Amino acid sequence: MATKGVGMANKGPSYGLSRQVQDKIDSKYDPELEQILVEWISRQCGSGVGKPEPGKQGFQAWLKDGCVLSELINSLFAGEKPVKKIQSSPMAFKQMEQISQFLNAAEKYGVTKTDMFQTVDLWEGKDLAAVQRTLSALGSLAVTKDEGTYKGDPNWFFKKAQENKRDFSDEQLKAGKNVIGLQMGSNKGASQEGMSYGRPRQIL
């Protein structure tokens, strides 16, 4: 069967387990989050990126060639832009390359590996909920960093709490380890004397 760059259309129906798995993945896709992400991306990048048709397929089609994503990540960097070349292309490998440029730049920005989607999640529409997760993580980081590049309502994304963990000195960290050690409890000098578990054993 010839594969065209149509995405899901040429896959044929899924049966059995893979269908159930796909349904589960699909059920995690959040239409409300889609609206927030679309609103944020179009505000962040300007009207040039347009807006997708509502719904999952529209969302996928809008982001699939990687250009909107690359515009988005570039808009969050105040200085030098991480994605040097943003070029729309009808060729699959060029589109995938553009998506992976976005993913590399998002990682540089601070999105953790666990929050990253895979190129095929978007390009083949395998897991668009993962795409949403990555974009949400990116939005949260932008709000948290507060570098003046975020355009949108700060309440769209929650601020990440772990931003201040780097402020501890080595001494403080060492002291912290000792505290944790004591909290775990120590069994020095402890015995089971005076503890009774159930009935005493009968020695006949």
SS3 203: coil
User: How buried is 30 (Cβ within 10 angstroms: 0-12 exposed, 13-18 middle, 19+ buried)?
Assistant: middle
* Residue 199 in this model has a pLDDT that exceeds 90: no
Q: How confident is the model at residue 15 (pLDDT cuts 50, 70, 90)?
A: low
Which pair of tokens denotes residue 203? 């020695």
* Residue 5 in this model has a pLDDT that exceeds 50: no
Integer-rounded Cα Rg, in Å, for the chain is 25
Give per-residue pLDDT as tens, 54-69. 999 999 999 999 999 9
Q: What pTM value is reported for the model?
A: 0.69
Phi, psi of 39 (to 5 degrees): -60, -45
End-to-end CA distance of the chain: 80
Give per-residue pLDDT as tens, 97-152. 999 999 999 999 999 999 999 999 999 999 999 999 999 999 999 999 999 999 99
Higher-confidence residue of 13 and 62: namely 62
* Spatial distance between the Cα atoms of 149 and 143, rounded to a whole number of angstroms: 9
What is the DSSP track for 26-95?
A: HHT--HHHHHHHHHHHHHHH-GGG--PPSSHHHHHHHHTTSHHHHHHHHHT-SSS-S-------SSHHHH
* Spatial distance between the Cα atoms of 138 and 132, rounded to a whole number of angstroms: 10
Domains annotated for the chain, with CATH where assigned, are 14-156 (1.10.418.10)
Sign of the torsion angle spanned by Cα atoms 155, 143, 31, 38: positive
Q: Which pLDDT does position 27 carry in this prediction?
A: 72
Higher-confidence residue of 163 and 118: namely 118
Q: Contact 47/39 with Cβ under 8 angstroms?
A: no
SS3 168: coil
Q: Contact 66/102 with Cβ under 8 angstroms?
A: yes
